[in-house]
Amino acid sequence: MRIDIITVLPELLKSPFEASILKRAIEKGLVEIHMHNLRDYTDKSYNQVDDYQFGGGAGMVLMIEPIDKCISALKNEREYDEIIYMTPDGKTLNQKMANSLSLIENMIILCGHYKGVDQRVRDAYVTKEISVGDYVLSGGELAAAILCDSVIRLIPGVLSNETSALTDTFQDNLLAPPVYTRPSEYKGLKVPDILLSGNFPKIEEWRENKAYERTKALRPDLLEKK
């Protein structure tokens, strides 16, 4: 998979790809991340990429020209399956969307800033608009990092134990069951006996029940989707 990220703040997006699972996915050659600073695509003085809104109103808007230049340069090199715009008014990211995006070859992620991008960019270029939740961030960069993390960990070969992504919370619209590790007792707090029993069919049944109970208690809306 190749991900091209268009941003005015590439420095905000460095560290998520420099540690742990995402770093290893890049090192293994399973994903390539290419950062593009929008300011490299403007001819205006002071590398200007934003301007006031037509019709008045507070807040600057990212201009269409540098975005068009950047996207056109990328599209000249290869085909893209999706051009995604990160915005609070997009469709809320969920596991199902991450699963389907993990199967595609090339995507562009455009990070909004200030009041967002000129609507013509959204109309003419963007194929998907994604939000990471009903709250407003200062820009799309942290949202793009969340999207990339949720997608990249699902690419086959990224997680060493492939089944661990399949048993994640939200796969199958269920929360994950509780997990425990050593020691089996700590200051009187005990691990449930069943997990120490070695009876794997029973353990599986216990996990399924716990996942269901937890979902019913904390996220009953997910059970309606099942």
Task: State which of positions 56-115 bind ligand ADE (CB under 6 A).
Answer: 86-88, 112
The beta strands (E) that lie in the chain are given as: 2-7, 32-37, 50-52, 60-62, 82-92, 106-111, 128-131, 185-186, 189-190
SS3 35: strand
Distances 80 to 58, 73, 210 between C-alpha atoms, Å: 34, 12, 41
* Token code pair at residue 121: 């960019």
Shorter beta-carbon distance to ligand ADE: residue 143 or 211: 143
Shorter beta-carbon distance to ligand ADE: residue 140 or 177: 140
Q: Which stretch binds ligand ADE (CB under 6 A): 36-44, 95-103, 137-145, 209-217?
A: 137-145
Q: Interface with ligand ADE includes 133 (CB under 6 A)?
A: yes
Taking CB under 6 A as the criterion, the residue among 123, 135, 185, 221 binding ligand ADE is 135
Fill in the per-residue mask, 139 to 168: x = in contact with ligand ADE (CB under 6 A), - = not in contact. Answer: -x--x-------------------------
**Which residues, including other chains, have CB under 8 Å from residue 68's CB and lie 6 or more apart?**
121, 125
Q: Which stretch binds ligand ADE (CB under 6 A): 27-35, 36-44, 133-141, 204-212?
A: 133-141
| Residue 117 assigned as binding residue | no
| Residue 56 assigned as binding residue | no
| Residue 61 assigned as binding residue | no
- Contact status, residue 169 vs residue 175, Cβ threshold 8 Å: yes
C-alpha to C-alpha distance for 135 and 89, rounded to whole angstroms: 10
User: Where does this chain bind ligand ADE (CB under 6 A)?
Assistant: 86-88, 112, 131-133, 135-137, 140, 143
